[in-house]
Structure 1
Amino acid sequence: MAYIRVRETKARTKGRQVKSYVVCWREPVRDEFGAILPGKTIQRTDTFDTEKAAKARLLEVENGLAGAKGIDPSGAKAKANTVLGVYARQYLNSLVGQMEPATIEGYEKLYRTHIAPEFGSKPVATITAADVDRFRAALFAPHPRRSFVTRGKPDPARESATAGTCLVVRSPKTVKHIVGTLKRMLDTAVRDGAISQNPVLPGPRRTTKRRTTTDTRKPFSHRPLTANQVAAVYDWIAASTSNGKGNAVYALAVLFAAHTGVRASELQGLQVQDVTLSDIPGTIGSIRVSRTAIRKSGTWTYGTPKSEASSDRVVPLAPWLADEMREYLNQVHPFAYKIPHAPLFPGRRSRSNFDWAKPVNADNLYDNYLQPATRALGLGSVRFHDLRHTFATMNLSAGEHYMQVSKWLGHSSFVLTLGTYADYINEDETTAPKVGRGRGIVEVAQLRKRDAS
């Protein structure tokens, strides 16, 4: 129930005491998805200077409360007034047992970040195609890059230092993924009979014809680095970072990721026991990728890699990289030969101390080391995932067969490798790979030695 309470203030106008009009009501408490929690309410108030404005707000509140309360939960009207958050929860619950928990958590995070603020508390029947079009357009607009250092908020110091380079644009693939998730949640409402049709309509068809546009932004593209650029990034991180102190351990972690192609979650999940090295210097080593680690709410959760092809795959280490890993495990890592399940690369306890009991955080590694290095070296905006593209392009350019590279990357099919890296595959690489070929590793090792000289 909503009502208006009149208050007399201390202010006076033309000899009369000024009154304020307070609209008071109790509304249901909603969870993080926007769904109503049964039996829980919270007091709300809005203050206005005129009685007319207060009555207009009162009518708006009463209509909203009537829609939220409903009469028959199974009725069409009650279903139409159900907020999107309820169907979002139903959709995510329906994925249990069909997808990996990490994948479901990714959809949940995507909903909380992008969809919930716009549609989470909105009745599904009030969501129109025009609302979705505005939502899609807003996703394409430039926005401040979310920073791990500032917990998602723009960093004023970094933005001023980089002359506004914190503004980034989402790729069409990312926007399609977000809107597609919204569509599937609304499909749940369609099946429940809350709405007759889904307001998420197909996006505008793309054409290959050249179009005149005033948008000067370059289209999104992957930014793989060359062997020389990876070596320069390694040297920059090891010598001097943004705080003036080098970090050889995290420099090696970046170098390792660029020459093994592991994903961020896989790098976090690597343990000492996953590395196989020979006692003879100058020989090839290997790593086994069998787990992932994801940090959520301050707790590390371990799982399996992204696909069947990604699980328990073995990636070779070039002789020079095997030597550096051997030196790292023998001289730097305190638990290399004591605790087999110790993280391969440590987390941070403070700015000057490592936490060897917890894995490295890829977000921290990117924000504090990789990104400052690539910007200082003039390499542009390089993502952490571009290190994985670096591994693929270096090996394919060096002559390694795409089927072998696909296995090392853990792609679900060779078609994905061909579609992503077709420009880097040699024209004569159309037959099956030869056993024991390894030309890509040798070529990369030679480039590394050339950089060091």
Structure 2
Amino acid sequence: MAYIRVRETKARAKGRQVKSYVVCWREPVRDEFGAVVPGKTIQRTDTFDTEKAAKARLLQVETDLSGAKGIDPSSAKAKANRPLGEYARQYLDSLAGQMEPTTIEGYEKLYRTHIAPVFGSRPIAAITAADVDAFRASLFAPHQRRSFVTRGSSVAVPANTTPSTSLVTRSPKTVKHIVGTLKRILDVAVRDGAVSSNPVLAGPRRTTKRRATSGSRKAFAHRPLSANQVASVCDWIAREKANNVYALAVLFAAHTGVRAAELQGLQVQDVTLSDIRGTVGSIRILRTAARKSGSWVYGTPKSDASTNRVVPLAPWLADELRDYLADVHPFAGKYPHAPLFPGRRSRSNFDWAKPVVADNLYDNYLQPAAKALALGAVRFHDLRHTFATMNLSAGEHYMQVSKWLGHSSYVLTLTTYADYINEDELAAPKVGRGTAQSVATVTDLRAKVSS
């Protein structure tokens, strides 16, 4: 029930005390998906200077409140008034058992980040094709890049310098993924009879030939680094950032091909090293780690081929890790479950009980190093491409590299790295070759990242 409460203020006008008119009502509490929480309501108020404006607002509130009362929940009108968030929750719940929990969490995060702020609380029947087109256009618009840069020494900026806006744009593939998720949510509403048709229409089709000649956006291409470039990056991090541990983490990622979540999930017990220097070692990929709502959640790699795979360590890299675990890592000899590379507690202190955050490693160290060395737009995942291309260029068989990468099939390795595979290597893999050969051209790396 809505009503108007009259309040007397301390202000006076023409000798009379000024009054304010407060429209009060209670409405159902909705969760983050826009769904009504049963049995919970919240007090709402709107204040107006005139009684006329207050009465107009009161009429609007009563109309909105009565629209959801006395209506059969199974009726078409009730379904049409349901917010998109309720159907989003229904869609995400229906995915259980059909795909990995981490994949479902990715869809949920995508919904919360992009779709919920625009459509989450809107009645499903009120979403039109024009709204979807405007939403799609907004996704293509330049936006502020999310940054994890929170540490490192500050640099003095001249007073007359205008700070960079750091605007970026989303790729067509990303936009298609977001709009596709919205379409699947609306498909649930169509099947429920809330709307007669899905307002999400397919975007304009463009053939590969037209995209190539338009010049508006180039096709994606990974940017692998050479062994010397990796060494330069690690040297820059150790010298300019004074962080030998994270310099080693970047070097390790580039010469093992681990994914970001796999790097975060590595523990001391996953490293196998001999007691003899100059011999190969290995790491075993068993888990992933990701931050969810401020806490770490552990899972399995993205495919069966990725789980429990073993990646060899070149002798020089095995020596680096041996020195690191013996002289730097405080928990290496005590707690096998300790993270291999630590997170940060502050600018000067590591948090050895928590894993390294790959996003922070990229934004605070890898990206600044690549920019300073004019290496272009290098992503963290390009370290994985670096591992693949260096090994294939050195003559490793693509089937062996595919196993080290944890690809779901050899076809993925062939299609991704066809330019680096020799025709002679399309035969059976050779026996007795190791990753040490692929990094034989790397020199004095230990001197660059150890101190």
The TM tier, using the shorter chain, reads 0.7 to 0.9
8 Å contact from structure 2 (residues 150, 364) kept in 1:
no
Helix, strand or coil at the partner of 1:310:
coil
1:22-62: CA deviation from partner (whole Å, max 9, x where unpaired): 43322211111111111211122223455565455444433
Of residues 429, 442, 450, the one that matches 1:447 is 442
After superposition, where does 1:24-423 map in structure 2 within 5 Å? 24-49=24-49, 53-69=53-69, 71-149=71-149, 163-164=163-164, 166-210=166-210, 220-241=220-241, 246-423=242-419
1:154 equivalent in structure 2? none
Distance 1:39 1:377, change over 3 A: same
| Alpha-carbon distance in structure 1 between the residues aligned to 2:445 and 2:24 | 74
Helix, strand or coil at the partner of 2:208:
coil
Distance 1:119 1:365, change over 3 A: same
| Alpha-carbon distance in structure 1 between the residues aligned to 2:207 and 2:256 | 37
| Alpha-carbon distance in structure 2 between the residues aligned to 1:173 and 1:416 | 19
Distance 1:96 1:448, change over 3 A: farther
1:390 aligned partner, one-letter code: T
| Alpha-carbon distance in structure 2 between the residues aligned to 1:214 and 1:110 | 30
| Alpha-carbon distance in structure 2 between the residues aligned to 1:322 and 1:212 | 44
2:30 aligned partner, one-letter code: R
CA deviation after TM superposition for structure 1 residue 390, in Å: 2.0
| Alpha-carbon distance in structure 2 between the residues aligned to 1:248 and 1:228 | 18
8 Å contact from structure 1 (residues 320, 445) kept in 2:
no
CA deviation after TM superposition for structure 1 residue 385, in Å: 1.9
2:137 aligned partner, one-letter code: A
CA RMSD, 1 decimal: 3.0
Helix, strand or coil at the partner of 1:287:
strand
Structure 1 residues not aligned, in runs of 5+: 152-156
8 Å contact from structure 1 (residues 171, 220) kept in 2:
no
CA deviation after TM superposition for structure 1 residue 4, in Å: 4.1
1:292-339: CA deviation from partner (whole Å, max 9, x where unpaired): 112222322221111111100111212221121111122212232332
Identical counterparts, % of pairs:
81
1:120-149: CA deviation from partner (whole Å, max 9, x where unpaired): 111211112221121111111111111234
2:170 aligned partner, one-letter code: R
8 Å contact from structure 1 (residues 70, 77) kept in 2:
no
1:338 aligned partner, one-letter code: K
| Alpha-carbon distance in structure 2 between the residues aligned to 1:8 and 1:215 | 65
| Alpha-carbon distance in structure 1 between the residues aligned to 2:322 and 2:445 | 21
| Alpha-carbon distance in structure 1 between the residues aligned to 2:308 and 2:336 | 17
| Alpha-carbon distance in structure 2 between the residues aligned to 1:320 and 1:282 | 6
Helix, strand or coil at the partner of 2:104:
helix
Residues 25-34 or 355-364, more deviating: 355-364
Structure 2 residues not aligned, in runs of 5+: 152-156
CA deviation after TM superposition for structure 1 residue 260, in Å: 1.0
Helix, strand or coil at the partner of 1:295:
strand
8 Å contact from structure 1 (residues 24, 45) kept in 2:
yes
| Alpha-carbon distance in structure 1 between the residues aligned to 2:205 and 2:301 | 34
| Alpha-carbon distance in structure 2 between the residues aligned to 1:139 and 1:15 | 55
Helix, strand or coil at the partner of 2:440:
helix
